[in-house]
Structure 1
Amino acid sequence: YGDGEALQLSALPSEIFLKQCFIATDSDEALVAQVVDRYGDDNIVMSIDYPHADGGYPNGTEEFISLPGVGLESKKKIMWDNCRRLYGFVDAA
């Protein structure tokens, strides 16, 4: 609204989102399969919501691995590769 109304974007909002945003999923979130199907697995990371009582700790990893509808390669990306990219982790030499 106002001055921002005339803003010309360089890409579609969905493209901008996929370029610079991530979605965090809980370890027991069954709907993550639909998100992966619709948007892909490049911008999703996993959270176990520690130390909240309703979080997945200490079994969050096992819960996430056992979720149906998401392939093992996607789970690897969500649990490690995407987090590494988000936080700028590099492999040890």
Structure 2
Amino acid sequence: MRYVDGKAAEGVFVQEVDEEVRRVKQHDETRREYMTLAMELKRQRQEGIAEGTRNMILAMLQKGFSAEIIADCAQTSVEYIIELGKKNHLL
């Protein structure tokens, strides 16, 4: 746990882990793969948030909330709420 907290590597196993971590950090292809993966995960997370927000807006429209209240809750524009409502035959 000390190693994870940034302390010096102690013990044979932790030193071996430290050496492998340093080796991987130096490997350009592995770094690129990691960055690509990180960017893809970020994109997927953003898409998930957007989909969740859209679903929340649609549910609120179905329950009869006003576009103004929904826009305030979803931190988006009234115009977007109205457009989404019309596309989904809720307005």
Higher relative contact order (CA 8 A, sep 6+): 1
The answer, yes or no, to whether TM exceeds 0.5 is no
Q: Hey, which of these two has a bigger chunk of helix by percent?
A: 2
Q: TM range, normalised to the smaller chain?
A: under 0.3
- Structure with larger Rg: 2
Instruction: Name the TM-score, length of structure 1 as normaliser.
Output: 0.27
